[in-house]
Amino acid sequence: MTTFTGGAKRTATGALMKMAAGALLAAAIAVTPAAAAASKSIPYIPEKFADMVADWETGTWQVKEPDGCFWAYWGCFASQETYNAGVPAKFPLPLNAEAAAENAKVVAALGEGKSIFDPNSQCFPQGLPDRAKTNFKWVNTTDRFYMMINGGEFRTIYMDGREMPERLAHEYTYNGDSVGHWEGDTLVIESRNITGPNTAISPNVPKSDNFWVIERWTPVSADELDVEVTFKDEDRFTDSFTYAFKYIRNAKGDTSPQPRACIMGEGQRYYADPTTGELKLTGPNGAPLEKAED
């Protein structure tokens, strides 16, 4: 498994499988979620964490990424310019041959001034794993956590001991299904069934529908969380990939009116050419632009 934290890279073979096994084991036999489900009472929360959750009634959590990089999606780049130019990240995703070839094709097109893969230009929800690294407000209910995200999106993390549901591939979920449990003071969230044509990993690398996310949230203080996010994609990656960052609580962060949504044809004007896939800017109501004259 590839892991980097602020540019430092380490290897931990099999850790993901251990996490997965832990998740399944905890869901099946752990006193906490199972008991909560049985009694229909509030879920167990480690005492240290529960004390902090009480303080999270107000404020929002904001991403703090490690220093030393220009961060875009899940990549560490030398600069904005190198990112725009399609220069690979310092710690690239462990793409398999097929995914690497597709990535190379997209990057080559960018070099020619063409964007041929960019679902974000078409107002699809971002979903996971993008939304595993986004500012949010924490909401705790009797059997689940909600992460309230901008744009009216939210994630639901079930803490009632339920098993991961099965879904059909065409049931677009974007954020997938998330089931959580506790390992000591660490909240471990497993998310699967992440389907839908969103960009997810990077603008240049489409994920598969067999994409798996494990998040580990460990409170450092009432205002700081250490977070590790691990991706596994058996159809795209040769190995798992872990990204570490922090969430810092902004105690003065508050709710606000919902911003205007992304609406195709209004706030987003890109049309994907059905033959080449090239995204083309259009005029009002999707009208094609004409050749510019002097």
Overall residue count recorded for the chain in this entry: 294
User: Strand pairing of 2-5 and 241-250?
Assistant: parallel
Which residue, 19 or 83, is less far from another protein as judged by CB?
83
Q: Which stretch binds another protein (CB under 8 A): 19-27, 133-141, 162-170, 237-245?
A: 133-141
Which of 96, 146, 162, 186 forms a contact with another protein (CB under 8 A)? 146
Exposure pattern of 124-152 as b/e (b: 16+ CB <10 Å)? Answer: bbbbbbbbbbbbbbbebeebbbebebeee
How far apart CA 12 and CA 174 sit, in angstroms, is 28
Draw the binding track, 12-31, toward another protein (x: CB under 8 A; -: no contact).
--------------------
Which of 32, 134, 156, 218 forms a contact with another protein (CB under 8 A)? 134
Secondary structure (3-state) at 143? coil
User: Residue count at the site for another protein (CB under 8 A)?
Assistant: 70
Tokens coding 5: 């934290």
Residue 103 as a binder of another protein (CB under 8 A): the answer is no
Q: Which stretch binds another protein (CB under 8 A): 1-9, 170-178, 209-217, 278-286?
A: 278-286
Residue ranges of alpha helices (H) inside 40-96 are 47-55, 80-84
Give the residue from 232, 245, 244, 241 showing the smallest Cα distance to 92.
Answer: 241
Q: Which stretch binds another protein (CB under 8 A): 27-35, 89-97, 122-130, 220-228?
A: 122-130
Tokens coding 142: 């009797």
Tell me how far CA of residue 282 lies from CA of 82, 286, 293, in angstroms.
Answer: 27, 5, 17
Minimum distance from residue 266 beta carbon to another protein (Å): 5
Residue 274 as a binder of another protein (CB under 8 A): the answer is no
Minimum distance from residue 24 beta carbon to another protein (Å): 26
Which residues make up the interface to another protein (CB under 8 A)? 42, 45, 50, 53-54, 56-57, 60, 62-63, 84, 109-111, 113-115, 118, 120-121, 123, 126, 130, 134-142, 146, 148-152, 199, 203, 250, 253-263, 266-270, 279-284, 288-294
